[in-house]
């Protein structure tokens, strides 16, 4: 059908070269063969093909008459003239398709189409887009793409009076893994997390890596009915360990969420609010999910203030930080004497007043500032203990808390060793308190670090025992000298049989494996009596004394400093 001949309607004869028009037609036909684009014409009413050149016939080879392009050309009438980019499934090519209504040679209404192959251009564009919208490391979409998509989802939700949610995820203590195991393992972890997030049903195409260890998941209107399940599935992803360099690693995350358009109609505002909520989750002790509320906003200002003030306070010689001491009492000795103290930091900020450790320590860990601050406590508390030891209290010990972030510093053993040398404290009078949740991250590494610290002669206490993760294993694997039972077990000691049994069991266990027990949070005489009957060794709590400033501690517990 590749010709432009038409029938003479009246005579039924074909018009041949005698007609001068025929010359034009045949020239036109040649031209159309040579234009370098496919050309197609069809009857506007019947859809009958009126003309196609060789290139066009090549595209619509027999047997390929289906797919988007074919549909577009043969089934529909485009109305006015225009241009579209259309995909042809058969040869996996893209075409620029120009079309226009024309009057055909015989006067009927027709459409003419020309097609240019633009596959190369499209592939190139896709590549560019990949660079622009993809995260190179994880293969997830990136921040730019997140912003583009979110803006679309907000519009969609607004129009349909629906609701969507932005989830902002930040890994907890990713720094530890990255610095502890090396960046290549940090990268592997990020990829594995990205892969698992993409498999959560309902958000397969709406996971983004925002940079570093931050991810965003958009729950669009269409998946909103699954929101609770999606959040559950995401948390599940982080409840299992990742296998890295021969062992299991747990990596939890903190998550903040905002609803759109309820909490904001603007992309940046929403992401910021989700980030604020995420930070609240961090501050609340990590590994949790916090929904954004209006009240969270004022917290944000506070966070920035706190961050700046804390940096200033560490730079300007730690004057705003003060170490308080809480006595630790030996129940089994005559007269229940004080055996030393736990050093607990206090921050009295010139700008913000008193900030409790529960508020600033998580931020200090997040910012890495816990290292210099913790080091300051280590050195100052050791120095003070050495002073007590030298002036009439040779057996007094000091306990210093060490957060996981500190423990995973590559040179932690050297840091502790130099604190010993700098202050001259006898190693056996220094106890480092570590929490048990840390142990799960990397047992082998933890064991190494703690063993090396112990080789210096220092004692190690397992803090907050009974909260957190599977505990007894760690006691077996790490050579603790003291187990500190968390104060949640003491709260209802008088009424609660379970608490009493728990403590009894721990006391027994401790005897078997020759470890000291210290019970924290003893507040009442009744609790004190019960514990004394159970043959508990050490106790600590408001019943004896709250943590107090150095001078006050010394007045009461080292009255005879010589
Ligand atoms: P922690 O190590 O479990 O310290 C015990 C906490 O219980 C202290 O809170 C102490 O004041 C409180 N406490 C003691 N006895 C009682 C009692 O009878 N009743 C009640 N209700 N509470 C009692 P604080 O001083 O607010 O410290 C909170 C946490 O901050 C500590 O928990 C510790 O994890 C962390 N922390 C404190 N100082 C440091 C430090 O120098 N370095 C690090 N890394 N963490 C620290
Ligand atoms: Ca402690
Ligand atoms: Ca504790």
pLDDT digits (tens, 9 = 90+) for 3-57: 565 544 444 455 455 677 788 778 888 888 888 889 999 999 999 999 999 999 8
Percentage of the chain beyond pLDDT 90 is 54
Ligand 3 centroid from CA 239, angstroms: 24
Relative to the CA of 377, which ligand 1 atom is closest? 41
DSSP β-ladder status, 516-519 and 482-485: parallel
Q: Whose CA is nearest to atom 11 of ligand 1?
A: 547
Question: Mutate which of 322, 344, 521 to test ligand 1's pocket (most atoms within 8 Å of Cβ)?
Answer: 344
Find the 249 Cα to ligand 3 centroid distance in Å.
24
Question: What pLDDT, on a 0 to 100 scale, did the predictor assign at position 11?
Answer: 47
For residue 515, the CA-to-ligand 2 centroid distance in Å is 17
Candidates 450, 454, 446, 433; CA nearest to 520 is 433
Pocket test for ligand 1, best of 348, 355, 357 (most atoms within 8 A of CB): 357
Identify which has the larger pLDDT, 103 or 368. Answer: 103
Q: Which residues are placed with Cβ below 5 angstroms of ligand 2, an ion?
A: 401, 433, 463
57: left (phi over 0), alpha (psi -120 to 50) or beta: alpha
Atom of ligand 1 lying closest to residue 406 CA: 44
The answer on pLDDT for 70 being more than 70 is yes
Mean pLDDT of 532-537: 90
pLDDT band at residue 169 under the 50/70/90 scheme: very high
Residue 102 falls in which region: left (phi positive, over 0), alpha (psi -120 to 50) or beta: beta
Q: pLDDT at position 68, please?
A: 85
Atom 4 of ligand 1, residue of closest alpha carbon: 344
Q: Closest residue (by CA) to atom 3 of ligand 1?
A: 464
Q: Could you identify the atom of ligand 1 that is nearest to the CA of residue 324?
A: 25
Handedness of CA 83, 85, 88, 89 (dihedral sign): negative
pLDDT of the residue at 132: 85
Q: 547 CA distance to ligand 1 centroid (A)? A: 9
Range in 128-132, 381-385, 398-402 the model is least confident about: 128-132
Burial of 3 by CB count in 10 Å (0-12 exposed, 13-18 middle, 19+ buried)?
exposed
| Model confidence pLDDT, tens digit, residues 249-287 | 788 899 999 999 999 999 999 999 999 999 888 877 778
Residue 436 binned pLDDT confidence (cut-offs 50, 70, 90): low
pLDDT digits (tens, 9 = 90+) for 399-412: 999 988 888 788 99
Nearest CA to ligand 1 atom 35: 357
Separation of CA 355 and ligand 3 centre (Å): 19
Span 416-432, mean pLDDT?
98
| pLDDT tens-digit series, residues 327-372 | 999 998 888 899 999 999 999 998 888 988 988 998 888 788 999 9
Which atom of ligand 1 lies nearest, measured to the CA of 435?
A: 34
Q: What is the mean pLDDT of residues 224-233?
A: 94
Mean pLDDT of 237-246: 84
**Closest residue (by CA) to atom 5 of ligand 1?**
520
Q: Which residues pair with 171 in a beta bridge?
A: 253
Residue 19's φ and ψ, nearest 5 degrees, are -75, 125
pLDDT, greater one: 551 or 4: 551
Q: Is 201 exposed, middle or buried (0-12, 13-18, 19+ CB in 10 A)?
A: exposed
> What are the chain's domains?
35-121 (3.30.450.20), 134-294 (3.30.70.270), 303-557 (3.20.20.450)
Residue 66 makes CB contacts below 8 A (sequence gap 6+) with 89
Instruction: Tell me which residues have their CB closer than 6 angstroms to ligand 1.
Output: 326, 344-345, 356-358, 361, 370, 374, 377, 401-403, 433, 463-464, 487, 520-523, 540-542, 547
Atom of ligand 1 nearest to the CA of 522: 18
Pick the atom of ligand 1 nearest to 374's CA: 42
The per-residue b/e assignment along 432-469, b for 16 or more CB within 10 angstroms, e otherwise, is: bbbbbbbbbbbbebbeebbeebbeeebbbbbbbbbebe
Whether residue 525 has pLDDT greater than 60: yes
For residue 523, which atom of ligand 1 is closest to its CA?
18
Does 469 have pLDDT greater than 70? no
Å from CA of 486 to ligand 2 middle: 9
Q: For residue 433, how far is its CA from the centre of ligand 2 (angstroms)?
A: 6
Q: What pLDDT score does 470 carry? A: 44
Q: How confident is the model at residue 145 (pLDDT cuts 50, 70, 90)?
A: very high
531 C-alpha to ligand 1 centroid (Å) = 20
Tell me what the pLDDT averaged over the chain comes to.
88
Q: How far is the CA of 369 from the centre of ligand 2 (A)?
A: 19
Find all residues with CB under 8 Å of 61, minimum gap 6, and list them.
90
Task: Decide if 430 contacts 341 (C-beta within 8 A).
Answer: no
Closest-lying ligand 1 atom to the alpha carbon of residue 433: 2
Q: What is the mean pLDDT of residues 65-87?
A: 85
Looking at the predicted structure, is the pLDDT value of residue 440 above 60? no
DSSP annotation of 358 reads H
**Three-state SS at 64:** coil
Ligand 1, from 398, 401, 543: best to mutate by most atoms within 8 Å of Cβ? 401
Ligand nearest to the CA of 372: 1
pLDDT at 439 over 80: no
The secondary element (H helix, E strand) that includes residue 44 is none
pLDDT tens digits for 284-317? 777 889 999 887 777 666 777 788 899 999 988 8
Confidence of residue 170 (pLDDT cuts 50, 70, 90): very high
Q: How far is the CA of 123 from the centre of ligand 3 (A)?
A: 59
Residue 136: φ, ψ to 5°: -60, -45
Q: What are phi and psi of 540, to 5 degrees?
A: -150, 140
CA distance 201 to 2: 51
Residue 545 C-alpha to ligand 1 middle, in angstroms? 13
User: Using CA positions, which residue lies closest to atom 43 of ligand 1?
Assistant: 401
| Nearest-angstrom CA–CA distance, 38 and 52 | 8
Nearest ligand (C-alpha, residue 521): 1
- At residue 81, the pLDDT reads 87
């Amino acid at each position: 059908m590749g010709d432009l001949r038409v029938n003479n309607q009246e005579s039924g004869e074909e018009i041949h070269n005698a007609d001068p028009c025929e010359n034009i037609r045949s020239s036109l036909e040649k031209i159309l063969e040579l234009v370098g684009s496919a050309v197609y014409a069809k009857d506007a009413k019947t859809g009958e093909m009126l003309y196609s050149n060789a290139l066009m016939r090549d595209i619509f080879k027999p047997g390929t008459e289906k797919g988007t392009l074919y549909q577009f050309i043969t089934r529909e009438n485009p109305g006015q003239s225009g241009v579209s980019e259309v995909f042809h499934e058969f040869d996996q090519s893209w075409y620029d398709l120009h079309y226009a209504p024309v009057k055909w040679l015989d006067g009927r209404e027709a459409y003419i189409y020309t097609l240019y192959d633009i596959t190369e251009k499209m592939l190139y564009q896709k590549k560019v887009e990949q660079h622009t919208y993809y995260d190179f490391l994880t293969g997830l979409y990136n921040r730019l793409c997140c912003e583009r998509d979110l803006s679309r989802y907000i519009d969609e939700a607004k129009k349909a009076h629906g609701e969507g949610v932005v989830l902002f995820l930040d890994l907890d203590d990713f720094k530890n893994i990255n610095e502890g195991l090396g960046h290549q393992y940090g990268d592997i972890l990020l990829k594995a997390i990205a892969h698992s997030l993409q498999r959560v049903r309902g958000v397969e195409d709406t996971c983004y890596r925002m940079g570093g260890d931050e991810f965003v998941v958009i729950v669009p209107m269409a998946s909103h009915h699954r929101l609770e399940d999606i959040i559950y599935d995401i948390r599940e992803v982080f409840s299992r360990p990742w296998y890295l360099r021969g062992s299991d690693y747990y990596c939890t995350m903190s998550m903040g969420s905002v609803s759109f358009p309820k909490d904001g109609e603007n992309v940046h505002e929403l992401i910021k609010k989700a980030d604020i909520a995420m930070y609240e989750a961090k501050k609340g002790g990590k590994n949790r999910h916090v929904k954004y509320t209006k009240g969270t906003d004022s917290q944000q200002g506070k966070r920035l203030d706190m961050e700046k003030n804390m940096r200033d306070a560490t730079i300007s010689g730690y004057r705003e930080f003060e170490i308080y001491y809480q006595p630790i009492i030996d129940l089994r000795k005559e007269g229940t004497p004080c055996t030393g103290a736990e050093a607990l930091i206090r921050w009295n900020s010139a700008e913000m007043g008193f900030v409790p450790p529960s508020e600033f320590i998580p931020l200090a860990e997040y910012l890495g500032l816990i290292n210099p601050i913790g080091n300051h406590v280590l050195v100052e508390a050791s120095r003070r203990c050495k002073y007590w030891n030298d002036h009439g209290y040779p057996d007094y010990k000091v306990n210093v808390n060490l957060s996981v972030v500190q423990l995973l510093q590559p040179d932690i053993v050297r840091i502790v060793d130099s604190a010993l040398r700098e202050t001259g404290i006898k190693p056996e009078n220094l106890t480092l308190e570590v929490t048990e949740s840390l142990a799960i991250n990397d047992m082998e590494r933890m064991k190494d670090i703690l063993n090396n610290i112990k080789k210096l002669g220092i004692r190690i206490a397992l803090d907050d025992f009974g909260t957190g993760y599977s505990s007894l294993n760690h006691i077996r694997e790490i050579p603790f000298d003291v187990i500190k039972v968390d104060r949640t077990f003491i709260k209802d000691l008088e009424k609660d049989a379970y608490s009493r049994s728990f403590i009894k069991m721990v006391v027994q266990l401790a005897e078997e494996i020759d470890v000291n027990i210290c019970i924290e949070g003893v507040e009442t005489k009744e609790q004190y009596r019960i514990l004394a009957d159970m043959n508990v060794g050490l106790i600590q709590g408001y019943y004896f004394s709250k943590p107090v400033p150095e001078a006050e501690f010394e007045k009461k517990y080292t009255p005879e400093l010589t």
